[in-house]
Amino acid sequence: MAFEDEWRQSHASVAMRLNQVPGDPGGPGAGGDLVAHADDLGVVGGDAYKLYEALRTDGDRARQSTFEAARALGADNFTSGDALMRVHDRWGTQFSTLKDACAQISNHLDYSVARHAKDDAAVLGTLTQVSVISQYLK
């Protein structure tokens, strides 16, 4: 059997369809539109900013102590000094990633709220102009 024939046959028997809203009109995803309220986005963005600030000010408190302990243990030829230094380095990387993610979430949601407000204002302005023009066409 040729490749093209096998390909057509395999596609004819597949029941799964991707990238579609379910056929049930009352079920989940009905309407297919994403709805996001500015108030909800603002709350999530505010929480992300608060977490970022807490991490920035308090989250890195133990790093210096861990570094000093790792150096002291390493200087006294304890093998745990190297292990603790690896923990210190990994913590620094993970901490930085988490802090950056919180800042990115906060900034993105702030941008989204502002952008959607501008889009809504532009649409409202366009509709108002169309309404005024329609009155003159009657």
pLDDT digits (tens, 9 = 90+) for 49-96: 899 999 888 887 888 899 999 999 999 999 999 999 999 999 999 999
Q: Using CB atoms within 10 Å of the CB of residue 23, give its burial: 0 to 12 exposed, 13 to 18 middle, 19+ buried.
A: exposed
What is the rounded CA–CA span in Å between residue 130 and residue 124?
10
* Ranges of each domain in the chain: 40-115
Strand ranges in 1-98 using DSSP code E only, listed in sequence order: none
pTM of the model: 0.54
The CA distance from 1 to 38, in Å, is 57
Per-residue pLDDT tens digits for 18-57:
555 555 555 554 455 656 677 777 788 889 889 999 988 8
